[in-house]
Amino acid sequence: MTDAAHACWYCKDADPAVCLANPAHPSYNKGLIFFPERVAKPGCPFCDIVAGEAPATIVREWDDVIAIVPHNPVVEGHTLVIPKTHVEDFAAAEYVAARTMSKASMLAHRMRGPMNLITSKGAEATQSVFHLHIHLVPRAENDGLALPWYSGRSRKTTVSVTGKQADATEVGRSVGRAVRAARRRETGH
């Protein structure tokens, strides 16, 4: 990819913002058109970091992705991999998500060792910043770091759903409530 001027294959517009802001456009919010200009969302903390308007410890930078140390890393080496273009999550723009994942994979390969690669879509899935970001979390045996669905302990959290036929949304809500309750018990909050 180059920093060549944007020329949309569909509408022939030179401005990528026109393409991505038009819901009738086939690439609307899909990130399928490369453009050197950055789409930033005002007030987004990751867009502010990319723009140099907020502080961050940069681990690695590419033309389209940046890797930083999070404000509160859960373990040493915890890294966030973030596209420089604002997309809400990994399902909002396949091309941007794929490029970001590619950079996360390269970085993980260089970091070596066991690790989790974690990303979320939606508040119910623990997403707290609505700009795609991938967590690379180095792991060690018995490190005590719990994932939402497995704490590394023998005690498991059970979920009960009332009624004979459980709606998938209600099951998801029940699981979310159980996970939050387990976290509160573990952290004492």
**pLDDT one-digit tens code per residue, 146-182:** 776 655 555 544 545 555 445 555 656 666 676 677 6
> Contact at 8 Å (CB) between 39 and 15?
no
Say how far apart CA 23 and CA 28 lie, in whole Å: 5
From 25-39, 134-148, 164-178, the region with the lowest mean pLDDT: 25-39
pLDDT (tens digit per residue) in 44-102: 999 999 999 999 999 999 988 999 999 989 999 999 999 998 889 998 888 889 999 99
Question: Which residue, among 117, 75, 116, has the nearest Cα to 100 in the 3D structure?
Answer: 117
- Give the pLDDT confidence score for residue 116 in this predicted structure: 93
Instruction: Report the alpha-carbon distance of residue 189 to residue 170 in Å, rounded.
Output: 25
Q: What's the CA gap between 137 and 116, in Å, rounded?
A: 5
Q: What angle do CA 183, 184, 189 make, to 5 degrees?
A: 140
